[in-house]
Homo-oligomer: A and B are copies of this chain.
């Protein structure tokens, strides 16, 4: 496939939204449009994280959690925040620790737990990745009108609240 889709190629590359026929309902089209946007962007981010930083979205996510918690986080906290089960946090943490990006620190008051922190190397690495990440997003969203960005932001805020209120959490 080409790097940049030509208008003709866009016509020829149906996506999820084009699955709806002419008489399908608007809510469904709205959802498929949302899903398509998200998949396109997320796929792009995953690809860039892989090729430019040899990492993955869950690993990036875990480091982002630690970045905003300089005092460290427990495994169980990470599990709760990232909404995945405990064993998976162990696996990702193992990888990152092996690469010297995070560190398990024993906590004296509870010998079962440990506090996970970014190492100095982890902080440097994360800062670079996060800067790139933000740049990718800004480059993309700069193609959007100011009005659309504002509308999107507000409407998504409303949607997020509705979803968090009505939907059963995943795990």
Contacts and interface: CB of A to CB of B under 8 A. Distances in A.
> Could you say how many copies of this chain the assembly holds?
2
B30 A149 contact: yes
A8 interface: no
Interface in A96-145: 133-134, 137-145
A85 to B, nearest CB: 12
Given A47-B170, A145-B158, A156-B30, A163 B140 contact: yes
**Interface bin, chain A:** 35 or more
A160 B41 CA distance: 9
Interface in A136-171: 137-145, 148-149, 151-171
Interface of A: 1-5, 10, 13-17, 19, 21, 24-31, 33-38, 40-44, 47, 61, 64-65, 68, 80-81, 133-134, 137-145, 148-149, 151-171
